[in-house]
Structure 1
Amino acid sequence: MSADLVEVTRSGTRECVHRGSLVLLDPGGARTVALGSVDAPIFPRSTNKPWQAVAALRSGFVPGSSEELAIAAASHAGEPAHLQHVRAILARHGIDEAAIAAPPSLPANERERALAIAADAPPSPAYMECSGKHAAMLAACAVNDWPLESYLDPAHPMQLAVIEALAEFGGEDEPDLGIDGCGLPIVPLTLAQLAASFARLVSAPIASPEASVADAMRRHPYLVSGTGADDLALMSTVDGLVCKTGADGVFAGAFADGTAFAFKIDDGGERARLPLAAALAERHLGSSDEDLAALASRPVLGGGVRVGTVRAVPGIL
């Protein structure tokens, strides 16, 4: 069962609606909003990345900087700063880029992609948006003398560490894994469990792996995402927020006090994510400044001018 979450209006008429499921937890973990199917397992996609980074830290990955830890939790755009930190992780452990078992890609950022094409640069797994977490996992493998060539295998010690970490939120010890777009196993969670996992990131003890990942993401939201990304826009606007987008309409995050949210848009539409997350931030803060209000009300254009809005359905929060 899904709920109407985000509406698109044009010239005063509701043109379409994005349906999905959403949960909001208070700092004690109680549900203050639950819409749709919040207890049905989903594939969180890249919203699992902060906990994959936590698992890499627990397994022996030692980042050379907070920037490297941020890139380990990133869905980056292949911009120069992103590649710099991915390559720094690999170089420090003597690992060749070819060891990244993600699909070879060109940068997701349009400008960098055009420059790569103009330079006749071949696709590389380092450009792929998930290469930061792959690099961190490979580094953990190198530290432990685990085989590099099989780190995608669900039975590999690195992937078992990820499964163990996410099982802390009620996930199964032997879950029905999926395969993410980058080739790594993906652990299913319910939206309620996903929100709880983000609450843990912001409430964990100082210097713990969880707190370290949260701090790195807050300090370097550009590295977690890239130019124009939803994560960057929201974390740059809301102090203390840690959030992460995932493919196919998933978004999760937690505010500084431990209030946490997670939602999934049924149709996978990315345009619905930012206004809904910004509306959750407005609810949490009890007010909205100009920048946050702009994120919560995205423009619909007609003839180059604004004629409508993409926004959370009024009254649902």
Structure 2
Amino acid sequence: MTHPVPLAEIWRGPFLESVHSGHAVVCDASGEVVHAWGDPTATVLPRSSAKMIQALPLVESGAADAASLWQEHLALACASHQGADIHTRRVRGWLEHIGMRDSDFRCGAQVPADTDAAHALIRENARPCQYHNNCSGKHSGFLTLNRHLGAGPEYIEPDHPVQKAVREAFEDVTGQDSPGYGIDGCSAPNFATSLNGMARAMAFFAAARTDDSAPRASAAARLREAMAAYPELVAGEGRACTELMRAAGGRVALKTGAEAFFVAMIPEKKLGVALKVADGGTRGAECAIAAILVKLGVLEPDHPATRKRMNAPIRNWRGIETGMIRPSVEMA
């Protein structure tokens, strides 16, 4: 096994102060490794980076079309959103459209990460609902698929038909049997795989076409295109997924996951990327994914969204530049 390698560095003046180490893999459409840092075989929990895979059964089963879902709904099914009005308004409309209520969710209530939405709850002396949960779009997809299947209400249970369909899709596109799962923050199973498996899955999404005769490939292309078309729904203002997708001009679909996971789908090159920072530091993962996208030629190094995360100045409370976060020598 290869140990984690440095991916991002924090410098204070001339001193290397901190290092974020981890693993990263780039795969092509055949599943072959094009670039690798660290250990491609490392077992990982992709967390929310797997949401587009978890949404595959929703689309390929015909449930999305039967419910007349739009591209915006598909983007939300892949989202870890801020709980802003643009997100919760659509989720509430989706629930109403399929005849469901907030109590049908199994994701749990969460205070919105969006400041305006959180302050509105405080002013109204109101508690957050489950539709505020950053995973409520994914769970709306689960509910839609569950209604289509006619299965029981506990759709997050690992032996439920919804999660069985998710696991089958996950193992197919990663090309590996999952060794197990952890329970995610939203209470759904999060299936484990290798980092290489996740990069292979992202390459499958990158190479997929909407006109493909294979339902799974067509579904993958629809989900990828929805993410690229609605970056603001996938995350939110100020977030890396949203800003970097905009900076790439739709050439890349990106998704972060908890504990410093990141994936990317690059359709023009039919490449998939997966990375994991070992210490769970988000700033390290954002720097590393930006560096990889620059290396692959789909993100401009001097774009403000890139510079916010890669070769980004660190300033103190007086605005004095004290250092920077930059890719490691290995990554650069």
Give the TM bin, normalised by the shorter chain.
over 0.9
1:156 partnered with 2:168: no
What SS does the corresponding residue of 1:61 show, helix, strand or coil? helix
Structure 1 residue aligned with 2:312: 298
Which whole-Å CA distance do the structure 2 matches of 1:314 and 1:259 have between them? 23
* 1:289 Cα offset (Å): 4.8
Aligned partner letter, 1:77: Q
Residues 287 and 226 of structure 1, relative CA distance in 2, 3 Å threshold: closer
Structure 2 residue aligned with 1:204: 208
What SS does the corresponding residue of 2:171 show, helix, strand or coil? helix
Structure 1 residue aligned with 2:214: none
Question: How do residues 107-126 of structure 1 correspond to structure 2 at under 5 angstroms?
Answer: 107-126=112-131
Structure 2 residue aligned with 1:43: 45
Structure 2 residue aligned with 1:230: 240
Structure 1 residue aligned with 2:108: 103
* 1:241 Cα offset (Å): 0.3
* 1:273 Cα offset (Å): 1.8
What SS does the corresponding residue of 2:34 show, helix, strand or coil? strand
Q: Is the 8 A contact 2:110 2:129 kept in 1?
A: yes
Structure 1 residue aligned with 2:144: 139
Runs of 4 or more consecutive aligned structure 1 residues displaced over 4 Å after TM superposition: none
Q: Is the 8 A contact 1:277 1:296 kept in 2?
A: no
1:262 partnered with 2:274: yes
Aligned partner letter, 1:219: A
* 1:27 Cα offset (Å): 4.7
Q: Structure 2: which 5+ runs fail to align?
A: 212-217
Residues 300 and 98 of structure 1, relative CA distance in 2, 3 Å threshold: same
**In terms of mean alpha carbon deviation, does 58-67 or 190-199 score higher?**
58-67
Structure 2 residue aligned with 1:284: 296
What SS does the corresponding residue of 2:125 show, helix, strand or coil? coil
Structure 2 residue aligned with 1:72: 77
Aligned partner letter, 1:197: A
Which whole-Å CA distance do the structure 1 matches of 2:48 and 2:203 have between them? 17
Deviations 1:93-138 (A, max 9, x none): 1001111111211211123212211211212111010010101110
What SS does the corresponding residue of 2:26 show, helix, strand or coil? strand
Structure 1 residue aligned with 2:259: 248
* 1:179 Cα offset (Å): 0.4
Which whole-Å CA distance do the structure 2 matches of 1:2 and 1:106 have between them? 34
Q: Is the 8 A contact 1:74 1:129 kept in 2?
A: yes
* 1:315 Cα offset (Å): 4.0
Question: How do residues 156-195 of structure 1 correspond to structure 2 at under 5 angstroms?
Answer: 156-168=160-172, 169-172=174-177, 175-195=179-199
Which whole-Å CA distance do the structure 1 matches of 2:175 and 2:10 have between them? 35
* 1:46 Cα offset (Å): 0.2
Deviations 1:160-179 (A, max 9, x none): 01000011122316x41210
Which whole-Å CA distance do the structure 2 matches of 1:293 and 1:27 have between them? 26
Q: Is the 8 A contact 2:29 2:204 kept in 1?
A: no
Which whole-Å CA distance do the structure 2 matches of 1:283 and 1:118 have between them? 46
Which whole-Å CA distance do the structure 2 matches of 1:68 and 1:23 have between them? 29
Which whole-Å CA distance do the structure 1 matches of 2:320 and 2:76 have between them? 37
Residues 126 and 9 of structure 1, relative CA distance in 2, 3 Å threshold: same
Which whole-Å CA distance do the structure 2 matches of 1:76 and 1:287 have between them? 23
Q: CA RMSD in A?
A: 1.7
Residues 287 and 265 of structure 1, relative CA distance in 2, 3 Å threshold: closer
**In terms of mean alpha carbon deviation, does 273-282 or 155-164 score higher?**
273-282
Which whole-Å CA distance do the structure 2 matches of 1:142 and 1:28 have between them? 35
Residues 293 and 56 of structure 1, relative CA distance in 2, 3 Å threshold: closer
218, 223, 226: which one aligns with 1:213: 223
Structure 2 residue aligned with 1:61: 64
Which whole-Å CA distance do the structure 1 matches of 2:192 and 2:23 have between them? 15
1:88 partnered with 2:93: yes
Q: Is the 8 A contact 2:108 2:186 kept in 1?
A: yes
Residues 33 and 95 of structure 1, relative CA distance in 2, 3 Å threshold: same
What SS does the corresponding residue of 2:64 show, helix, strand or coil? coil
* 1:189 Cα offset (Å): 1.4
* 1:314 Cα offset (Å): 2.4
